[in-house]
Amino acid sequence: MLEYANHIIRTIEQSGGEAYIVGGAVRDMLLNRSPGDYDLATSLLPQDVMKLFPVVIPTGLDHGTVTVVIDHLPFEVTTFRSESTYSDRRRPDEVTLGVSLEEDLTRRDFTINAMALKPTGLVDLFGGQHDLAAKIVRTVGRAEERFDEDALRMIRAFRFMSQLEFSLDRQTEQAILVKKQHLSSVAMERIAVEFEKILLGPGRTTALQAMIRTGIPEYLPHLDPSILERLIEMPLNGVSTDDVWTLVVVAGMRPEALRAWKRSKKQQTRAKTLAPLVKEETLSDWQRYCLSDEELLRLNEMTGRHHQDRSTLPIRQLKDLTVNGRDMMTLGLQKQAIKEALAHLEQQVVVHRLANQRETLLREVMMWKKQHGTGS
Ligand code: ATP
Ligand code: MG
């Protein structure tokens, strides 16, 4: 991949432009980690980048971004840009293309994310290498101003602490104390994505402690400091981004709060269903029956337990009963009574009180009908 990124840089240079690998990829390479992707910054305008490579997708022309595809691998190439006046603390009001590399690096959030690399050298204007060596997350420029521009950066600071096992620069932390109330103006989706990364990073203990220390929970919906304290105690290694929200609920967040955190319907139901079961050492047959195969799998993964899979249950769904609604109708039951009778049989069969045999079940329905009526 690095070869391809360098090829893009050389191609742009041959056409008279400048180009660099920027952002997370530079940071990761200097840390001897392999970057997930390589982002590039260039002096050329998007339309000129498009002319230089056979496969280029205009993925974000408004922001000056095109994606160069080489050997099926995507490389985002973005024109040097600056961002002016963040009146709402969410998004820049205006993106200016065609500025210098220096300006492009100046708009970036942290010194460790604000370096640029090309085959002939590294550009490090803000002491990024120093902070990498010292393992410090520090804003580029005055922290208070940078958090005024975009309050999400405060949460990103904790994210990088967690992912990289870094500590927080003192002045950056001071600025968070002053600016944290601006978090309310940031879209919750963006915060949630960073929060997931905080929870799943190897340095989450330090990061979560810093969040508690700076009083962040008060400014995030339904997040009590005690929830973060419990999350610190929980083993979250290897947990997926879906399941991590189940564990946030286990740690004490109300499942309904996941709506405010803009989590998907699926995540919300999963958390609500699975959270109460996480602490159970054994599950009853009925509890297993009420889960889907996937939910049971996830529960096992999350807890390291080995609840038997659902194939050992007498039935796995209502349809597996040897009687159905039509049989109930034949026996003279109506709508509501049919539903209730079937639910009764389902429950009895799952807990092994009745065998899933047609005769047994029909006999049970007759008795049930005597007690409950026909529903008419
Ligand atoms: P990852 O490896 O997790 O993707 P990353 O450093 O690439 O980490 P991204 O969120 O992909 O993080 O952002 C890419 C780069 O864009 C960052 O390294 C940083 O230079 C810049 N950046 C991203 N978000 C912001 C922001 N809110 N404010 C300023 N600069 C930002
Ligand atoms: Mg990235």
pLDDT in tens, 26-44: 999 999 999 999 999 999 9
Kindly identify the ligand whose nearest atom is closest to the C-alpha of 160.
1
Per-residue pLDDT tens digits for 342-359: 999 999 999 999 999 999
Closest CA to ligand 1's atom 4? 24
Pocket probe mutation, ligand 1, options 29, 34, 65, 109, max atoms within 8 Å of Cβ:
109
Instruction: Identify the residue whose C-alpha is closest to ligand 1 atom 18.
Output: 23
pLDDT at 92 over 70: no
- The pLDDT of residue 207 is 98
Place of tokens 């919750």: 188
Q: Report how far residue 234's alpha carbon sits from residue 231's, in angstroms, rounded to the nearest whole number.
A: 5
Q: Which residues line ligand 1 (CB under 6 A)?
A: 23-24, 36, 108-109, 113-114, 150, 152-153
Q: Which ligand number lies closest to the CA of residue 110?
A: 1
Amino acid type, 173: E
pLDDT band at 98 (very low <50, low <70, confident <90, very high): confident
- Of the listed ligands, the closest to the CA of 23 is 1
**Ligand 1 atom with minimal separation from the 152 CA:** 27
What homologous superfamily is domain 1-132 in, according to CATH? Beta Polymerase, domain 2 (3.30.460.10)
Pairing verdict, β 116-118 and 39-42: unpaired
How does pLDDT run across 100-159, given as a tens digit for each residue? Answer: 999 999 999 999 999 999 999 999 999 999 999 999 999 999 999 999 999 999 999 999
Q: What are the C-alpha distances in Å from 82 to residues 46, 102, 126, 190, 259?
A: 15, 10, 17, 21, 34
Please say if the pLDDT value at position 90 is more than 80.
Answer: no
Residue-wise pLDDT tens digits, 150-199: 999 999 999 999 999 999 999 999 999 999 999 999 999 999 999 999 99
Distance 246 CA to ligand 1 centre (A): 27
Ligand 1 atom having least distance to the Cα of 114: 20
Residue 163 CA, closest ligand 1 atom number:
3
Q: What is the pLDDT of residues 355-375, one digit of tens each?
A: 999 999 999 999 998 988 776
pLDDT at 94: 76
350, with CB counted inside 10 A (0-12, 13-18, 19+), is: buried
Is the model's pLDDT at 89 over the cut of 70? Answer: no
Distance CA(8)–CA(151), nearest Å, equals: 33
pTM of the model: 0.88
Split at pLDDT 50, 70, 90, the class of 19 is: very high
User: Could you tell which of 37, 108, 153, 185 is best to mutate to test the pocket of ligand 1, judged by most ligand atoms within 8 Å of the CB?
Assistant: 108
Structure-model confidence comparison of residues 99 and 49, the more confident one: 49
CA of 174 to the centre of ligand 1 (A): 22
The ligand with the least distance to the CA atom of 24 is 1
Answer whether residue 237 shows pLDDT above 90.
Answer: no
**Is 87's pLDDT higher than 80?**
no
**Distance from the alpha carbon of residue 364 to the mean position of ligand 1, in angstroms:** 64
Confidence of residue 91 (pLDDT cuts 50, 70, 90): low
pLDDT band (50, 70, 90) for residue 95: confident
List, for residues 308-318, the tens digit of each pLDDT value. Answer: 989 999 999 99
pLDDT over 90 (residue 4): yes
Predicted ipTM > 0.85: yes
Nearest CA to ligand 1 atom 9: 24
Q: Whose CA is nearest to atom 26 of ligand 1?
A: 109
Identify the band that residue 263 occupies on the pLDDT scale cut at 50, 70 and 90: very high
Average pLDDT, the chain: 94
User: Cα of 334 to ligand 1 centre, how many Å?
Assistant: 61
- d(CA 279, ligand 2 centre) in Å: 36
